[in-house]
């Protein structure tokens, strides 16, 4: 993949997206100007020439006046107006060319501010950032909204005050990855969208569907797309690339295995039915992530405008556990005694067929488990801390909460 960085650890990193590709500038070292606080203007010309001003002077292509509350920069094809509110975190942009104009302001203290990117050929003029922190309500389309992650993203977005379009194959917002005729109605009016492809981010056809969906989203004025992907899943890279090539601001959140696989969905159902986990996971170590952390990261990304644009964020829990350890923790927490029986991926395929999984999906999953559970993911990622400024939720807390909720009762 190109133009994706997973390990940017700066506390003030910004991302600039131009015409569907992404470049990265790091605050403090690149394209940053200071006029008492901090601001940066990037001209949206076709060749992506940056317009920089410092302290109200001009560098030949830009001019700026600062009156304490209002800053205006005019240069090339981009006009920028920044309305300084009390905390200096609100900005507005208009104009720009097809390459897209990116503008960022900060109040010089928080290291994070409203970012509003507008003025490209898709007609976002005067629109605002998809920002939960300073610019009020936005409309977020959440796909997979009845699923493990989507339901939490929808909930977190509601709590943040956003308008949520909770999409699934039934319910108020109809959406089916396999039926492009459902896409436009789901997307229309949305400012941002969370994409959880089914049955998997790396499944056959996922790249084509996500690419086409993302392009449609851009045509309909959606400004930020966040894709749920999976760590160490080489089958998902084409899907991530398809998103990145669609010409819309994008962020990939690459997650570890979910803690909630043990409490919701087919793996949990199997545990309840058999009294144990039968899974092709050997003794491999995995830093299970609580899906609520994924939802928090998704919301923070949507609230940070350009900050995570063009980024792949790898997120995991903070502790490596084997699947055997995880089952033992669940058993030890007093919910129910479960066994663990590691099987080969091919043997697990037979289990999947038994529960009615379509043959194409079975073949894909065998390949996925043979690769994804071979130890390549036995490391912890720091995306939760990078984005949220706190560590991930503990697996043990997930277990205790689920036991208290009666999750594994017979
Ligand atoms: N499980 C993991 O550990 C893990 C780790 C990393 C990444 N991922 C990725 O996470 C995604 C799955 O998310 P999840 O676990 O939250 O999902 P989930 O719990 O399996 O729920 C699936 C959701 O998608 C909807 N859905 C099913 N088929 C659909 C279709 N054809 N078109 C549109 N919506 C459909 C379902 O609602 P309806 O059935 O009502 O339509 C439901 O809301 C996959 O892309 C997977 O690759 C999973």
Q: What is the pLDDT along the chain (410 residues), one digit of tens a residue?
A: 333 333 332 222 223 222 222 322 222 222 222 222 222 222 222 222 222 222 222 222 222 222 222 222 222 222 222 222 222 222 222 222 222 222 222 222 222 222 222 222 222 222 344 543 445 689 999 999 999 999 999 999 999 999 999 999 999 999 999 999 999 999 999 999 999 999 999 999 999 999 999 999 999 999 999 999 999 999 999 999 999 999 999 999 999 999 999 999 999 999 999 999 999 999 999 999 999 999 999 999 999 999 999 999 999 999 999 999 999 999 999 878 999 999 999 999 999 999 899 999 999 999 999 999 999 999 999 999 999 999 999 999 999 999 999 999 87
| Fold of domain 139-320+377-404 | Rossmann fold (3.40.50)
Extract the tokens encoding 117. Answer: 């990117």
- 173 Cβ contact partners less than 8 Å away, ≥ 6 residues apart: 141, 145, 165, 166, 167, 185, 186
Among protein residues, the one with the nearest Cα to ligand 1's atom 11 is 196
Per-residue pLDDT at 136: 66
| Ligand 1 atom closest to residue 202's alpha carbon, by position in its atom list | 47
Q: What is the spatial distance between Cα 162 and Cα 136, in angstroms, rounded to a whole number?
A: 8
* Radius of gyration, alpha carbons of the chain: 23
Q: What is the spatial distance between Cα 148 and Cα 146, in angstroms, rounded to a whole number?
A: 7
Distance 61 CA to ligand 1 centre (A): 49
| Ligand 1 atom closest to residue 143's alpha carbon, by position in its atom list | 34
The alpha helices in 147-260, defined as continuous H runs, are: 148-159, 183-187, 206-219, 237-244
Spans of all domains in the chain: 13-106, 139-320+377-404
Per-residue pLDDT at 130: 55
Residues framing ligand 1 (Cβ under 6 A): 143-150, 168-170, 175-178, 196-198, 200-201, 228, 230, 255, 257-258, 261, 265
- 251 Cβ contact partners less than 8 Å away, ≥ 6 residues apart: 224, 225, 226, 227, 301, 308, 309, 310, 311, 312, 313
Task: Count CB-CB contacts under 10 A for residue 264.
Answer: 17
Q: Are strands 92-95 and 78-83 parallel, antiparallel or unpaired?
A: antiparallel
Distance 128 CA to ligand 1 centre (A): 30
Per-residue pLDDT at 273: 92
Among protein residues, the one with the nearest Cα to ligand 1's atom 46 is 200
Choice from 196, 226, 281 to test ligand 1 binding pocket (greatest atom count within 8 A of CB): 196
């Amino acid at each position: 993949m190109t133009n994706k960085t997973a390990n940017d650890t700066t506390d003030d990193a910004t991302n600039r997206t131009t015409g569907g590709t992404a470049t990265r500038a790091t605050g403090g070292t690149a394209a940053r100007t200071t006029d008492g606080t901090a601001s940066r203007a990037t001209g949206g010309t076709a060749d992506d020439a940056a317009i920089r001003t410092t302290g109200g002077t001009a560098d030949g292509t830009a001019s700026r006046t600062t009156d304490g509350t209002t800053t205006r920069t005019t240069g090339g094809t981009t006009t920028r107006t920044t309305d300084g509110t009390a905390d200096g975190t609100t900005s507005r942009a208009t104009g720009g060319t097809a390459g897209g104009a990116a503008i960022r302001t900060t109040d010089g203290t928080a290291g994070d501010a409203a970012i509003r990117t507008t003025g490209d050929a898709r007609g976002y003029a005067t629109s605002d950032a998809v920002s939960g922190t300073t610019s009020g309500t936005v409309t977020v389309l959440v796909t997979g909204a009845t699923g493990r992650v989507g339901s939490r993203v929808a909930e977190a977005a509601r709590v943040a005050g956003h308008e949520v379009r909770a999409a699934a194959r039934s319910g108020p917002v109809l959406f089916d990855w396999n039926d492009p005729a459902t896409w436009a109605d789901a997307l229309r009016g949305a400012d941002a969208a969370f994409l959880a492809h089914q049955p998997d981010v790396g499944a056959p056809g996922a790249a084509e569907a996500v690419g086409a969906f993302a392009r449609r989203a851009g045509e309909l004025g959606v400004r930020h797309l966040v894709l749920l992907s999976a760590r160490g899943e080489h089958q998902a890279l084409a899907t991530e690339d398809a998103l990145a090539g669609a010409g819309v601001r994008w962020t990939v959140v690459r997650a570890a295995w979910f803690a909630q696989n043990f409490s919701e969905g087919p793996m949990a159902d199997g545990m309840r039915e058999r009294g144990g986990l039968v899974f092709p996971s050997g003794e491999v170590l995995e830093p299970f992530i609580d899906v609520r952390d994924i939802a928090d990261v998704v919301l923070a990304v949507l609230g940070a405008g350009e900050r995570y644009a063009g980024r792949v964020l790898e997120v995991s829990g903070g502790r490596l556990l084997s699947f055997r350890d995880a089952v033992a923790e669940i058993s030890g927490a007093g919910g129910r005694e479960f066994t663990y029986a590691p099987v080969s991926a091919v043997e697990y395929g037979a289990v999947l067929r038994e529960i009615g999984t379509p043959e194409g999906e079975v073949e894909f999953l065998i390949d996925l488990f043979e690769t994804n559970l071979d130890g390549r993911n036995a490391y912890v990622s720091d995306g939760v801390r990078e984005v949220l400024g706190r560590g991930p939720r503990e697996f043990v807390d997930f277990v205790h909460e689920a036991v208290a909720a009666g999750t594994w009762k017979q």
